[in-house]
Amino acid sequence: MTVTTPTPYSAIIADQLYIGGWREGTSKRITATTNPFNEETIATIRQASTDDVDAAYEIAQEAQASWAALAPRERAQILTKAADWIEEHQEAVVELIRVESGSTAIKANIETSLAVGSLREAATFPIRITGQILPSNTPGKANYVFREPLGVVGVISPWNFPFALSMRSVAPALACGNAVVLKPASDTPLTGGLLLGKIFEAAGLSEGVLNIVVGAGSEIGDHFVEHPIPRLISFTGSTPVGKQVGATATGGKYIKKVALELGGNAPLVVLEDADLDQAVGAAVMGKFLHQGQICMAVNRIIVQAPLYEEFVEAFSKRVQTLTYGDQCDDATVVGPVINDSQLCSVTERIERARAEGAREVVSGPVEGRVIAPHVFADVTPAMELFREEIFGPVVGIVKAEDEVHALELANDTEFGLSSAVCTRDLARGLNFARQIEAGMTHVNDITVNDEAHVMFGGEKNSGLGRFNGEWAIEEFTTTHWVGVASGQKQFPF
């Protein structure tokens, strides 16, 4: 009997840029990516300069035409092989995600599955890209509308779900015949970037079709977005940075498309007829998965008055059972936040909630970058916990007088990404959900949901565009009208 030894995560680490192949960066800056729990160094990488960005875009542009010219089946096979590679090395991939991004076991496994799902869905795109033939008012003329690749796509990905959210843009962009230049977040250059180079290289993707630059936003960020070659910039991250990316991409010398998946302030509404245990479970999972560092994480829990006190008590008891600490301990539910800046931001929000008079019903220590879960009740719309995205293991509970008030509270935000409502009456839940001003709403489920074949995106200051499924095909392609006349038309001059 043959025993297969699992691949160690150290075997899938890359410490060079991926620009037409592996090469050293030319920036004077060197970055060390570390475990956020204990600060152990995982890899050291010389960063990209603007010259490296230029090279990546130029190589991508040169490689794109031949990639797009491949038969749909051949592009699909590359994506399928990439998904197969991840599944064959799943333990190593999961472990690397845990070590670099501070992810617990459940989050890292979810993230890996999401990335595989994106690849397998994208592998269907090459044969789903269709055009149209339309009639013409000119006799003897035919109108063809071809759906074509954009050319080169620039992708900027975040640190919270680095592997899945990089893949969510890279896979469909490649499937639609584009070449890609990927810039991962500085906190997660491996799982958000260089690991994808390893995967697609193993899958047989031609050099130059995917390029990966690791660099500081202050050195290469604007140059990455302003560059004349990319036709679309796909950005996932905070709303303030996303606004800057959008303005730079559309207001500069070279106007390009943007796809922006930005911040959220997700409400989870608990109506008075909700199943209490189910609502508590959804709120706990939706809030504390990955320490609340998810754009879709429950940010506000809005509970109708008749159930309010009972919910606060049951929710608080459940939260007090959550274990926190080293994310590499399989028993841990709440691990460390990603860096010291995030630590400072979240602890300041805790102090502000106390100062503003919220009732603290669950608290705990802050040990290194690990923040124990914190719960505040009696939060009002005037408080910071209500108005701002927290991005940490802290949540506020708000009382709604009735269903109308609950809807008003849910929509009282500049954001509109994900949301949820809990009720035993499914017709009531559906009606309520459709009135929430958000791109996504889930009835009797958590706010954190993503399925590769279903649209993903937000309203208001939560972004522009849609990811996944047929919506991704539309984002990562363009249409071209080709009118073909018989050659017999007479022109008046």
Cβ burial of 73 (10 Å; 0-12, 13-18, 19+) is exposed
Residue count (the chain): 493
Backbone dihedral region for residue 208 (phi beyond 0: left; psi -120 to 50: alpha; all else: beta):
left
Contact between 302 and 270 under an 8 Å Cβ cutoff? The reply is: yes
How far apart CA 267 and CA 419 sit, in angstroms, is 5
Closest to 124 (Cα-Cα) out of 478, 453, 481: 453
Q: Are 212 and 189 in contact (CB under 8 A)?
A: no
8-state DSSP, 292: G
Burial of 109: CB neighbours in 10 Å, binned 0-12, 13-18, 19+: middle
Question: In terms of Cα–Cα distance, which of 77, 47, 75, 60 is closest to 19?
Answer: 60
User: What are the tokens at 420?
Assistant: 């949820």
Residue 118 host element (H or E): helix 105-122
The one catalytic residue among 100, 261, 389, 475: 261
- Token pair, residue 491, equals 């022109």
Helix, strand and coil percent figures for the chain, each rounded to 5: 40, 20, 35
295 is catalytic: yes
Q: Which entry of 295, 389, 422, 475 is annotated as an active-site residue?
A: 295
Cα(225)–Cα(193) distance, rounded to whole angstroms? 17
- Indicate which residues carry an active-site annotation: 261, 295
